[in-house]
């Protein structure tokens, strides 16, 4: 009997038949998830990431808004700035590196584990009896902020490209809910709950597909992919810069580096958007989040944290809803640039108004809050999308991490600078001006020190030798004006940066051609793959 020979074409037919048989075999082995269930899964993951953003925003917004009351309870005002700067420093130095690792490794565990450290930090902060312990707990809490590069990337990669503005808008709305606050110790207990729920949600429901751009690599390859030289220089530089402000490209290595060359191949959108995002961080974290509540307290618009929070609803309610309408407009007309120009212009108006703030502007300040909410909503919603459109999928979290690192650096620097401006003006003018006003109203000079201490402790009207109602009225009125002068200087310093951000946005190139139906990392499972490793 002669052996049977097959032609090349017959071999191809046999191979295809074998492949088809294997494919059907895998279909029988796997549970095929209905499309309706897949849609619910995608929606659930987007919700969890928005929840994670809410928890992260709560970290820096809630505590920062009640700094004045924390100082009253714990003292050590010199360290108070680190309540904001500590967590932001962690975000600034770690976000790009965590983002890069998540691009080459796995997003799930890098997003789910840091909130556990934040959970511990929140408990430490809630039980703090001194400022150093509170700041130390904040450093631990800040580790979860580094995952912003991941939780902001997940919705963008599981939804079609054209919906990136909506994805960022939903995340921004989640962050705004995180900004609703009151009290101070309960803030950290609530943080502990939010971080724990974030970890549980990501572990249970987020199952990213196997990484296609980066196959399994050695430990050294993962280490080298994070550009260790550039990362070390970036961490050291950012840390020293922030420390320097608070206290008054390398020559060899990887070819692409931590800030990948791919971000700059088409246009300058990455650089322009990142700069504008840093300015937005400077405005929000240092001015809106920290200075505005102090304006409300120290100009006499409200006297306790609850009423300050109620007044801030005029900002929070606007910024809660505005991202939805802005993102819908941007998606419908494929236009990110014009909404950014409008909203940055609105924020320039806010800066000018606060640069002329007066103690009599009790009602006017609420109106300024409304304008500020509109102005803040645009950059927070659209700039992350602009930055993500500059990055190939293999660098999506890296780009997002660099963006939020720039925002955190802007916020930390702004907090240091504005704090220096306000404290510098008050230290050189406040005591002498308020004391003189009180003495002119009849207060004995020997009682000036006691009166100033009472004002610092929020004990207006306290019984002090020679302090009549007329003396208190004169002292409190002058105190309001001295704080107004200090806050005017702080807000005036932001105006040039806001103008520079407007110029940067003006030169952005449109991204209409990128807003397509393409999905870069669908969570739908490939029925031809039965490898359980694909779900890791």
Read off the pLDDT of residues 440-477 as tens digits, 9 standing for 90 and up.
999 999 999 999 999 988 888 888 999 999 999 999 99
Q: How confident is the model at residue 489 (pLDDT cuts 50, 70, 90)?
A: very high
Percent composition of the chain: helix, strand, coil (DSSP 3-state, to 5): 75, 0, 25
Q: Find the range with the poorest average confidence among 62-66, 313-317, 360-364.
A: 62-66
Neighbours of 13 (CB within 10 A): 12
Give the residues across from 519 on adjacent strands.
160
Would you call 374 helix, strand, or coil by DSSP?
Answer: helix
The token duo for 275 is 């700069």
- Tell me the average pLDDT of the chain: 78
The token duo for 472 is 């208190």
Q: Read off the pLDDT of residues 131-153 as tens digits, 9 standing for 90 and up.
A: 889 889 988 988 888 887 788 77
Total residue count of the chain as it appears in this document: 536
Q: Is the dihedral of CA 364, 368, 371, 373 positive or negative?
A: negative
* CA–CA–CA angle 277, 294, 81 (5° rounding): 60
Residue 90's nearest CA partner among 148, 32, 133 is 148
Distance CA 348, CA 351 (A): 5
Q: Read off the pLDDT of residues 333-343 as tens digits, 9 standing for 90 and up.
A: 889 999 999 99
Q: How confident is the model at residue 5 (pLDDT cuts 50, 70, 90)?
A: very low
pLDDT of residue 392: 75
Instruction: Give the mean model confidence (pLDDT) for residues 483-497.
Output: 95
The model carries a pTM of: 0.67
The token duo for 343 is 């909203």
Distance CA 479, CA 44 (A): 51
Q: Are 255 and 395 in contact (CB under 8 A)?
A: no
Residue 139's nearest CA partner among 211, 83, 63 is 83
Instruction: Give the mean model confidence (pLDDT) for residues 486-504.
Output: 95
């Amino acid at each position: 009997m002669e052996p049977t020979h097959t032609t090349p074409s017959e071999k191809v037919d046999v191979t295809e038949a074998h492949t088809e048989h294997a494919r059907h075999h895998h279909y029988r082995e796997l549970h095929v998830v209905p499309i309706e269930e897949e849609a619910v899964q995608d929606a659930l993951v987007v919700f969890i990431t928005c929840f994670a953003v809410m928890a992260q925003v709560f970290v820096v917004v809630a505590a920062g808004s009640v700094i004045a009351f924390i100082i009253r309870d714990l003292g050590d005002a010199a360290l108070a700035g680190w309540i904001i700067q500590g967590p932001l420093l962690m975000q600034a130095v770690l976000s790009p590196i965590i983002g890069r690792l998540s691009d080459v490794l796995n997003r799930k565990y890098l997003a789910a584990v840091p909130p556990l450290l934040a959970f511990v930090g929140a408990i430490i902060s809630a039980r703090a009896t001194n400022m150093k312990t509170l700041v130390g707990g904040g450093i631990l809490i800040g580790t979860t902020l580094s995952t912003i590069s991941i939780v902001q990337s997940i919705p963008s990669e599981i939804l079609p490209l054209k919906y990136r503005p909506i994805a960022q808008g939903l995340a921004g709305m989640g962050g705004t809910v995180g900004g609703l606050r009151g009290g101070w110790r309960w803030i950290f207990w609530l943080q502990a709950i939010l971080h724990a729920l974030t970890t549980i949600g990501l572990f249970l429901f987020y199952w990213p597909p196997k990484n296609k751009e980066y196959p399994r690599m050695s430990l050294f390859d993962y280490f080298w992919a994070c550009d260790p030289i550039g990362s070390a220089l970036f961490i050291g530089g950012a840390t020293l810069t922030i420390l320097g402000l608070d206290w008054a490209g390398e020559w060899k290595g990887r070819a692409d580096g931590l800030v990948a060359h791919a971000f700059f191949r088409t246009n300058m959108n990455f650089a322009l958007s990142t700069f504008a995002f840093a300015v937005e961080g400077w405005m929000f974290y240092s001015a809106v989040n920290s200075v505005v509540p102090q304006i409300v307290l120290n100009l006499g618009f409200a006297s306790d944290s609850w009423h300050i929070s109620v007044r801030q609803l005029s900002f929070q309610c606007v910024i809660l809803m505005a991202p939805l309408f802005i993102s819908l407009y941007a998606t419908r007309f494929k236009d990110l640039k014009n909404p950014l120009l409008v909203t940055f212009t609105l924020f320039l108006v806010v800066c000018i108004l606060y640069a002329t703030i007066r103690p009599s502007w009790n009602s006017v300040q609420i109106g300024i809050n409304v304008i500020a909410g509109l102005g803040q909503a645009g950059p927070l919603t659209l700039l992350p999308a602009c930055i993500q459109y500059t990055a190939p999928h293999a660098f999506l979290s890296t780009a997002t991490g660099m963006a939020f690192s720039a925002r955190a650096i802007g916020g930390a620097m702004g907090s240091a600078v504005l704090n220096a401006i306000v404290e510098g003006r008050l230290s050189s003018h406040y005591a002498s001006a308020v004391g003189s006003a009180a003495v002119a109203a009849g207060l004995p000079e020997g009682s000036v020190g006691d009166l100033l201490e009472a004002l610092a402790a929020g004990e207006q009207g306290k019984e002090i030798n020679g302090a009549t109602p007329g003396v208190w009225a004169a002292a409190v009125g002058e105190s309001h004006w001295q704080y107004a002068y200090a806050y005017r200087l702080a807000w005036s310093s932001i105006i040039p940066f806001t103008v520079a951000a407007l110029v940067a946005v003006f030169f952005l190139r449109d991204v209409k051609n990128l807003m397509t139906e393409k999905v870069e990392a669908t969570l739908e499972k490939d029925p031809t793959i039965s490898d359980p490793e694909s779900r890791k």
